[in-house]
């Protein structure tokens, strides 16, 4: 028998007004995987994550998390269930300190002692954040803000982490570092869905990938297969 995915989209349609951004997409994510969603600008990658999180409403189809339909679960409730998104552009709180930002990620938790441990774990992953823990979020560099956004999400102890363009706007050295950290987070037991323009690096750290084109899934395969597929190489991997 086939395993039940931890997250599944079944024929999901979502729209901005009358414009369909997702035209009935189906995606399966199994526990422990890193799954990439790649595609050109405007293909619907960000919309996919926002629809999973009920920031954009699915007008058709089912979104299942641990076998439960979550179409109508509020975006503020999903993190308490272990499903947490790191949005594109980071959206940290600029006027809160690094520590306060991390606390916000655990807004629904009351286990203060365990939270302290988790903050230390975040600082072990992102040592720069430890150095800057008393600084305002807004004073951090782009890369540090990305780390803070990821650290804040980890404070909710996610089972599934949805990452929207984590490499966006980062210097090449930092990009590699962020992908290494994504792998480490995954190795600590977090399932990861990764939306990326940087298809090469995303697929390199993924188990499987989906290719989106104008709101439809046009291909899905093992990441190593996609990386060596000539059509994919030409269209998305800069060949």
Alpha helices in the chain (DSSP H): 45-52, 98-105, 112-125, 127-131, 142-154, 172-187, 199-204, 223-228, 230-236
Give the three-class secondary structure for 196. Answer: coil
Q: Does the protein bind ligand ATP through residue 43 (CB under 6 A)?
A: yes
- Which residue, 66, 88, 81, 73, is CA-closest to 150? 88
Tell me the number of residues near ligand ATP by CB under 6 A.
Answer: 12
- In whole angstroms, how close is the CB of 88 to ligand ATP at the nearest point? 6
Write phi, then psi, for 228 (nearest 5 degrees): -105, 0
| CA 150 – CA 125 distance, rounded (Å) | 10
Given 1, 2, 3, 41, the residue binding ligand ATP (CB under 6 A): 41
Q: Choose the stretch contacting ligand ATP; rule: CB under 6 A; options: 39-47, 76-84, 108-116, 138-146.
A: 39-47
- In whole angstroms, how close is the CB of 42 to ligand ATP at the nearest point? 4
| H/E stretch holding 26 | strand 19-29
Report the DSSP beta bridge partners of residue 221. 209
Residue 149 CA, distance from chain mean position: 11
179 contacts 146 by C-beta, under 8 angstroms = no
Cβ proximity to ligand ATP, 14 vs 191, nearer residue: 14
Given 39, 79, 151, 209, the residue binding ligand ATP (CB under 6 A): 39
Cβ proximity to ligand ATP, 16 vs 95, nearer residue: 16
- In whole angstroms, how close is the CB of 214 to ligand ATP at the nearest point? 8
Q: Choose the stretch contacting ligand ATP; rule: CB under 6 A; options: 5-13, 44-52, 116-124, 136-144.
A: 44-52
Q: Interaction with ligand ATP in 164-223: which residues (CB under 6 A)?
A: 197
Q: Does the protein bind ligand ATP through residue 45 (CB under 6 A)?
A: yes
Q: Does the protein bind ligand ATP through residue 25 (CB under 6 A)?
A: no
- In whole angstroms, how close is the CB of 86 to ligand ATP at the nearest point? 14
Residue 93 CA, distance from chain mean position: 19
Name the site residues for ligand ATP (rule: CB under 6 A). 16, 19, 21, 39, 41-47, 197
């Amino acid at each position: 028998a086939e395993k039940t995915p931890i997250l599944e989209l079944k024929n999901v349609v979502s729209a901005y007004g009358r414009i369909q951004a997702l035209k009935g997409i189906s995606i399966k994510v199994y526990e422990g995987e890193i799954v990439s969603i790649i595609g050109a600008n405007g293909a619907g990658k960000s919309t996919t994550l926002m629809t999973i999180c009920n920031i954009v409403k699915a007008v058709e189809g089912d979104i299942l998390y641990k076998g439960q339909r979550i179409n109508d679960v509020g975006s503020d409730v999903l993190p308490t269930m272990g499903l947490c998104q790191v949005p594109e552009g980071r959206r940290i709180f600029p006027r809160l300190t690094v520590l306060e930002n991390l606390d916000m990620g655990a807004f629904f938790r009351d286990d203060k002692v365990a939270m302290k441990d988790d903050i230390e774990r975040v600082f072990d992953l992102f040592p720069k954040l430890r150095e800057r823990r008393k600084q305002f979020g807004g004073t951090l560099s782009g890369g540090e803000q990305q780390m803070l956004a990821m650290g804040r999400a980890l404070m909710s102890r996610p089972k599934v982490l949805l990452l929207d363009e984590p490499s966006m706007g980062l210097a090449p050295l930092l990009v590699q570092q962020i992908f290494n950290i994504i792998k480490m987070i995954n190795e600590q037991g977090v399932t990861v869905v990764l939306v990326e323009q940087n298809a090469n690096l995303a697929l390199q750290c993924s188990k499987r990938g989906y290719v989106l084109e104008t709101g439809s899934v046009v291909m899905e395969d093992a990441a190593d297969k996609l990386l060596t597929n000539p059509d994919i190489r030409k269209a998305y991997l800069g060949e």
